[in-house]
Amino acid sequence: MSVKKRTSCDCGVFVKVLWRVLFFSVFFSSVFPCFSADNRQWDGPYAREFQRGPETIIERPLRLISGVFGTVTPDSGVVNVSRTDVYEARTQFQTQEKNVFWRSRNGEEYSAIVFYPTPTPPLGTPFSAVIFSHGLGTSAEDFSYLGRAWASRGVVTLLLRHPNSDSSVWRGKVRPMSNLKEAYRKYWSGRDRAVEISSAIDFIYTSHRDGGLMRTVDLGRIAVAGNDLGALGALLVAGQLPPDNGPSLYDPRISAVLALSPPIFCEPEQGPEVYARISVPLMVISGTRDDGVVGNTKASQRRLLYDSVKSNDRYLVVLKGGDHRVYGGRRMAQQSSDSSFHETISRETSDYWSAYLQGDYAVLTSLRNDGFVSPFNNATVEKTLRSPFYQTNNVDSVVRNR
């Protein structure tokens, strides 16, 4: 049997075929992304782009060819990604706002400003929801910046109104501080706030059932948040023991909690018992100058909540130079640094909701890996990761500077 020798013509044909494969690989992978070898579905919008990092015009066809010949290697994790990139990519929805009113089971009338994303998501991809309670002496409108930021990330946000403990308590009064102290003596326990937060959860359930404004909300992805007295109300709903030693206000329908400047009513050694029932993910935000204006909590005491919760992932964000009035719209002695603090708060909390409410894998990974997100060097972030769902075999506690 004779063996046919390879000629230069054979090599030329091979080269032409290879160039044609490369040409059509570039064409099809650019015009029709569905031909990509890595077209797997990841949690959250735009997540696939952040799983591998950006591809060059050469990398994409080479990856396609490797997929054809069965040489694609599995992803080893998230690479070439910063939390700034993730944040910008996920600010995707337009937002609208609307005033809503409802009656509680006891006949009490409540109201809120609702910030909601538009357009309505495709069938089968509902929004999550957050109920926010403002602090003593502030108003729902003061936290509109958070409502817009969260709604732009696909989170329906209810900013509750508390007319008996909002800015009307002191604004225009002869002795505003005396009026604030009087309101604090009346509402210090946070019990009224917790009742209103649970009533807002009832409203979401009812509106969802009746096909109302909350029809697009996933009832399994509802979180609570608050500032100052509102933070106490949110924590009571999450499982904190009431400071007035009254009946528990725990509500099992929530999936995460955020506390901005939470008041502390116990000694350090009592913390594990007081906060033992809080089992959902937690983020605490405070400031280095965050001493209470009316209450007695000092800035250094606010981390007790973070230190005491043991059963799930938790984050502590400390604003450098941030005082107790920085969270809402400062009515007196506005400081130029407030806008940068608001930006940092918006970004940290938006990523937190994306990760723990919406299950966005790319954001969750970058958040837990401590990627940079704030353009300002105005905060430190500490994290303790304990959830076995996200991490096993170890507890990672890291402090970093922004």
Identify the band that residue 388 occupies on the pLDDT scale cut at 50, 70 and 90.
low
pLDDT digits (tens, 9 = 90+) for 234-273: 999 999 999 999 999 999 999 999 999 999 999 999 999 9
DSSP, collapsed to helix, strand or coil, labels residue 179 as helix
Tokens (6 digits) for 86: 């993730």
Are 183 and 295 a contacting pair, CB within 8 Å? no
Among 8-12, 48-52, 106-110, top mean pLDDT goes to: 106-110
* DSSP H or E stretch at residue 116: strand 109-118
Position 2 in a domain = no
Residue 41 placed within a domain: yes
Residue 1 lies inside a defined structural domain of this protein: no
What is the number of helices (H) and of strands (E) in the chain? 12, 10
Residue 283 or 69, more confident:
283
pLDDT at residue number 122: 67
pLDDT digits (tens, 9 = 90+) for 15-49: 666 666 566 554 544 444 433 333 323 233 323 22
One domain, residues 70 and 95: no
Q: What is the pLDDT of residue 183?
A: 84
Sign of the C-alpha dihedral computed for residues 245, 247, 250 and 252 taken in this order: positive
Give percent above pLDDT 90 in the chain: 49
Regarding whether 210 and 184 lie in a shared domain, the answer is yes
User: Same domain for 110 and 227?
Assistant: yes
**Mind spelling out the 3-state secondary structure of 328-368?**
CCCCCCCCCCHHHHHHHHHHHHHHHHHHHCCCCHHHHHHHH
Look at the chain and report how many structural domains it folds into: 2
Higher pLDDT: 57 or 315? It is 315
| 21, 22, 28, 33: CA torsion to nearest 10 | 130
Q: Judging by DSSP bridges, how do beta strands 379-385 and 217-227 pair with one another? A: unpaired
What's the confidence (pLDDT) of residue 335?
59
Cα separation, 378 vs 189, in Å, equals 31
Same domain as 180, residue 69:
no
Are residue 218 and residue 291 in the same domain, yes or no?
yes
Residue 179 placed within a domain:
yes
Listed range (156-160, 166-170, 180-184, 205-209) with the worst mean pLDDT: 166-170
Q: What rounded mean pLDDT belongs to the chain?
A: 78
User: Helices 8-31 and 59-68: crossing angle, nearest 10°?
Assistant: 110
Tokens of 106: 């006891």
Residue 337's pLDDT band, with cuts at 50, 70 and 90, is low
pLDDT computed for residue 169 by the predictor: 79
Q: What would the mean pLDDT of 352-372 be, rounded to a whole number?
A: 83
Q: Looking at the structure, do residues 194 and 178 belong to the same domain, yes or no?
A: yes
| Residues 318-327 pLDDT 10s | 999 999 989 9
Q: What span, in angstroms and rounded, lies between the C-alpha atoms of 192 and 230?
A: 10
Q: What is the pLDDT of residue 171?
A: 79
Domain boundary among 32, 59, 80: 80
Over residues 63-75, mean pLDDT: 36
pLDDT (0 to 100) of residue 77? 32
Quick check: is 189 in a domain?
Answer: yes
Say if residue 189 is in the same domain as residue 44.
no
pLDDT digits (tens, 9 = 90+) for 219-239: 999 999 999 999 999 999 999
Residue 390 or residue 75, greater confidence: 390
CA distance 157 to 2: 79
Residues 275 and 333 in one domain: yes
Residue 88, CA distances (Å) to 43, 70, 84, 401 in order: 17, 35, 6, 21
Domain end position, chosen among 52, 80, 108: 80
218 and 131 housed in the same domain: yes
pLDDT in tens, 165-203: 888 778 777 887 888 888 888 888 999 999 999 999 999
Q: Is residue 36 part of a domain?
A: yes
Q: Which residue's structure tokens are 């964000």?
A: 317
Q: What is the average per-residue pLDDT within 358-379? A: 77
Hey, what's the torsion of the CAs at 47, 51, 53, 59, to 10 degrees?
-110
Q: End of a domain among 46, 62, 80?
A: 80
Amino acid at 222: I
The amino acid at residue 286 is S
Whether 35 and 105 map to the same domain: the answer is: no
Asked if pLDDT for residue 99 goes beyond 90, the answer is yes
Contact, 86 vs 181, CB < 8 A? no
Residues 204, 129: contact at Cβ < 8 Å?
yes
Comparing 278 with 188, the larger pLDDT belongs to: 278
Residue 382 contacts residue 315 (beta carbons within 8 Å)? yes
Are both 61 and 191 inside the same structural domain?
A: no
Assign 155 a pLDDT band (cuts: 50, 70, 90). very high
Enclosing domain of residue 281: 87-401
